[in-house]
Chains A and B, each alone.
Chain A
């Protein structure tokens, strides 16, 4: 295998890994602070993708601009969903276990609502558009501008997240909440605000990921689920509640997946992904999220 091929695999892996990181960090943020397992995360990606698609196809709006709109819109959706559906049950849930299970079911229902509203509005057809497809040579590897752009944006946002969490008061409060909810209440952290913020940020990052993805992948109302599964793999591997773990884990998984597919075949990708998914849930380190004491 020559150097060009290796570099190509690496670059593809990093590009897709950046998107995985975006998706996983959002999901993990939601879980870490609120114990919510958002199995509808992929659908937010889908929404972001479709908004970008329509804005470009109908009005010629560049995805660079749509990005901003998508982020805002996703955050607004997050705010509505959080306020109406989840904040009440977080307050009234008898236990964490009940909250986790109930919220999972609610998200499952939301997932179906999102996919089918999208199908209703836009049909189930596969769609795509071309944007920034000019190729540029980087170290002998041909890469499209749109993919470089995606990598650039994901890196930027991941760095911004890092900065937020490590260097700001808000970030500190978020990390405190992830560590210990009770104690956070007691030291005066506005827990409800952080819930809302984490929720909206997660949705916004998912929407952004969808916007980026739409530039070089086809989109359908049903595109979301595989990304949700991948996000779960990343956050379990990186550690539930460990935001930096998801950041690194996203890139790592992107690389692993690209290498794996290049060695085997594209058709096996879902099987590999789900096998990994099932294995890590079965073997998961008990201390992180098991309720059993083994």
Chain B
């Protein structure tokens, strides 16, 4: 089923046309990549989809429901979660508490701290932060902060997870670990993923489908192979053919 659909989504900031009539869909169970040069509108699309601000025009439907203009917390509680490009951990709180917040206020809306704690531990296991549960978030490395960001969003029990450049700043080993985690999120938890990414090897390695944005417009969409060979995409963004 179509998990999320955007119809003619546009967003203007004053004179700047960040998004122009973008149509997009993500089917349940997919891992879709969203690529494009900086300023192409990828994070804007995420912000519109997750409710940071409404689109200037167009609609977004999530699980069949029109979510255009809803507030971020409302969208989160319907099962759409996101991570931030510059991670926003709750620095003074422990890793565990960070994740518990997702459990307490996300789609599950758990009332009791004890249950939330148990569920949070489960998520920490998945992302590999169990050993650091009691550490304050401010003491984590960047890679671990990114793990925490993902864990916290997963704790809200989303159907769709928007990952915003989750691989940025990771070294090759960490990148491979992250890719494995992304696959596991889809495989083990059944969460659909839409990911903005610049690391092409990861995108083609993990995604079923890729959407390409350029100056706020969708210029291509398709399987990794097609995208890698698409002339427009190569000219606008890739620069050269990507070896798969």
Determine the distance from Cα of A294 to Cα of B14 in the docked complex, in whole angstroms: 12
Closest to B54 in A: A294
How many CB-defined contacts (below 8 Å) exist between A and B?
5
Interface string of A269-294 (1 = CB under 8 A from B): 00000000000000000010000011
CB distance from B140 to the nearest CB of A (A): 16
- Chain B 10-33 residues near chain A, CB threshold 8 A: 14
B53 → chain A, closest Cβ, in Å?
5
Interface size class of A (residues with CB under 8 A): under 10
Contacts of A294 in B (CB 8 A): 53
Q: Does B47 contact A (CB under 8 A)?
A: yes
Q: B94 in the interface, Cβ–Cβ < 8 Å?
A: no
Instruction: Give the dominant DSSP class at A's interface.
Output: loop
* Neighbouring A residues of B14 by C-beta, 8 Å: 287
Cα of A208 to Cα of B102 in the assembled complex, Å: 55
CB closest chain-A residue, reference B138: A94
Complex Cα–Cα for A287 and B52 (A):
15
Contacts of A287 in B (CB 8 A): 14
> Chain A nearest CB: distance from B230 CB in Å?
32
Task: For the complex, give the distance between the alpha carbons of A108 and B196 in Å.
Answer: 44
> In the complex, A287 Cα to B14 Cα: how many Å?
10
| Chain A residues within an 8 Å CB radius of B53 | 293-294
A294 to B52, CA, bound (A): 7
* Complex CA distance for A294 and B53, rounded to whole angstroms: 6
Looking at the assembled complex, report how far the CB atom of A38 sits from the nearest CB atom of chain B, in whole angstroms: 29
- Give the distance to chain B from A293, nearest Cβ to Cβ, in Å: 5
Cα separation A293 to B52 with both chains bound (whole Å): 7
C-alpha gap A293/B50 in the complex (Å)? 13
Measured between beta carbons, the chain A residues less than 8 angstroms from B52 are 293
Q: Which of A237-294 contact B (CB under 8 A)?
A: 287, 293-294
User: In the bound complex, what is the Cα–Cα distance between A293 and B53 (angstroms)?
Assistant: 7
With the chains together, A75 CA to B68 CA distance in Å? 54
Residue numbers of A with Cβ under 8 A of B are 287, 293-294
Give 5 CB contacts A-B under 8 Å. Answer: A287-B14, A293-B47, A293-B52, A293-B53, A294-B53
Shortest Cβ-Cβ A-B pairs, 3 listed: A293-B53, A293-B52, A294-B53
